């Protein structure tokens, strides 16, 4: 599926739920691979920064991200709307520190984006495909979020506030095609007994009975309701069927649906659309954000493995050990590549079968054999050397020498019995015999080491 953006800017005006300050939000079209970014237009320099889960600094009654000294709060509803409409690239401009609460749902954002129009771009969308279960649990709260393999994005939420008015509820979004009608209109909610605390903490200045469902799960006196009416600039408030207003719920399970809306918005912070089934039990912003961090970490690992070579031991190699020895000057015990299984102008894949008979295991380490990391880098260099030598007519008359090794990382131990796949990729055209390569070593589905290598080819005199 192609990436998408909006055709023209879309602007909304309102107040922040927690600050009560007027704010104008504008969605701007953005180029391919831009993702979601925020911009504070009211601050000198108009800083722009990614909507990234690692920037989250608060999850109290909403999700807040921070870049240097710049914060933006209550971002989850706007992000949820973007995901719900499957829009990938947008710049979100704000002239204040908080996204406007509007009616407490994602529907106003959806309507504004629809009016702006949605257009397809040329680049393909990059999904995070859930291939194995990913789980986050908070034993103290009973919260659990789980991602399961699925060929599309689906979300289920289960909530339980142990209340007669709001007990167990269930909500499900089986397809993003249903988001606009089934999830977007669902408003935020709060319990009446929480309101006084929120007022004291200055966390609910922009809320009124039109943008938040207030749930009354205990008997309250009219005096308290009259005082509350003054705080929210209402003549009076009433309790009807456990709800503190005269508005009807859009759905019987609107609170559970709104929690689902929040889950989608918070998970947008991982940076890529998900193909998987999300099951969220008693979710909240804090748990959602921690779960998004887990998913982002898994995605980054999966992304690295997308370039992992496929090794078929039954397939004849391009180079066996005899041919490798014709090209490279190295010999036992320092020839560390057994065969070459794949090669093009820009990359090469070599194989090393690690056995207990390797000489270096005698001293590294007795009774604890571990392949030295420096020898893994040497094996990368030998593999990359064959790729470099393939550019000359007489490879047997040339040698390659290290000039620089950078950004070396050793992630897992390599042990006897492992088969290492070395993939070396050119990162720049070869000039004057100097080649730059990115080396990655795989054992199974793990990246065990990686490095950036620079070497020079020199003809033997």
Residues labelled catalytic:
285, 364
Tokens for 264?
């989608």
**What secondary structure, in 3-state letters, does 221-281 show?**
CHHHHHHHHHHCCCCCCCCECCECCCCCCCCCCHHHHHHHHHHHHHHHHHCCCEECEEEEE
How far lies 368's CA from each of 356, 362, 363, 374, 377, in Å? 11, 10, 9, 17, 21
CA distance 395 to 280: 59
How far lies 194's CA from each of 10, 217, 251, 274, in Å? 34, 11, 23, 34
How many residues are given for the chain? 461
CB 189 within 8 A of CB 211: no
Convert 204-221 to b/e letters by CB count within 10 Å (16 or more is b).
Answer: bbbbbbebbbbbbbeeee
Q: What is the largest CA-CA distance in the chain?
A: 99
How far lies 256's CA from each of 121, 168, 250, 380, in Å? 34, 9, 12, 53
Angle, CA of 136, 77 and 170, to the nearest 5°:
55
Tokens for 71?
């914060």
């Amino acid at each position: 599926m192609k990436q998408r953006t909006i055709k023209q800017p879309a602007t909304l005006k309102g107040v922040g739920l927690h600050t009560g300050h007027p704010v104008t939000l504008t969605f701007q079209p953005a180029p391919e691979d831009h993702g979601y970014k925020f911009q504070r237009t009211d601050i000198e320099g108009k800083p722009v920064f990614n909507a990234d889960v690692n920037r989250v600094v608060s999850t109290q009654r909403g999700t807040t991200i921070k870049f240097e000294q710049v914060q933006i709060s209550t971002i989850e509803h706007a992000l949820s709307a973007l995901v719900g409409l499957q829009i990938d690239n947008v710049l979100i401009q704000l002239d204040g520190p908080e996204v406007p609460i509007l009616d407490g749902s994602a529907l106003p954002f959806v309507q504004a984006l629809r009016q702006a129009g949605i257009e397809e771009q040329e680049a393909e969308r990059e999904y995070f495909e859930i291939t194995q279960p990913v789980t986050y649990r908070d034993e103290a709260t009973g919260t659990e979020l789980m991602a399961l393999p699925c060929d599309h994005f689906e979300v289920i939420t289960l909530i339980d506030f142990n209340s007669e008015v709001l007990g167990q509820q269930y909500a499900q979004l089986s397809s993003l095609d249903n988001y606009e009608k089934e999830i977007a209109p669902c408003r935020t909610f709060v319990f009446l007994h929480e309101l006084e605390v929120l007022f004291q903490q200055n966390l609910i200045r922009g809320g009124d009975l039109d943008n938040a469902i207030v749930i009354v799960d205990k008997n309250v006196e009219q005096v308290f309701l009259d005082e509350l009416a003054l705080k929210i600039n209402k003549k009076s408030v009433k309790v009807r069927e456990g709800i503190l207003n005269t508005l009807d719920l859009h759905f019987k399970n609107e609170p559970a649906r709104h929690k689902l809306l929040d889950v989608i918005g918070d998970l947008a912070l991982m940076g890529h659309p998900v193909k998987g089934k999300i099951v969220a039990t008693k979710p909240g912003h804090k748990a959602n954000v921690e779960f998004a961090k887990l998913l982002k970490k898994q995605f980054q690992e999966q992304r690295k493995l997308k370039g992992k070579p496929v090794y078929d031991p039954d397939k004849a190699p391009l180079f066996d050990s005899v041919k490798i020895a014709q090209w490279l000057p190295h010999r036992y015990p320092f020839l560390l590549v057994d065969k070459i299984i794949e090669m093009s102008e820009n990359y090469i894949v070599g194989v090393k079968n690690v056995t207990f008979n390797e000489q270096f295991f005698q001293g590294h380490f007795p009774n604890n054999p571990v392949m030295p990391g420096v020898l893994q880098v040497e094996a990368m260099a030998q593999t990359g050397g064959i790729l470099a030598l393939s550019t000359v007519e007489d490879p047997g008359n040339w040698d390659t020498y290290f000039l620089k090794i950078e950004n070396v990382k050793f992630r897992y131990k390599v042990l006897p019995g492992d088969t290492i796949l070395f993939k070396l990729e050119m990162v720049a055209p070869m000039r004057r015999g100097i080649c730059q390569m990115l080396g990655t070593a795989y054992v199974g589905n793990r990246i065990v080491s990686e490095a950036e290598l620079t070497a020079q080819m020199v003809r033997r005199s």
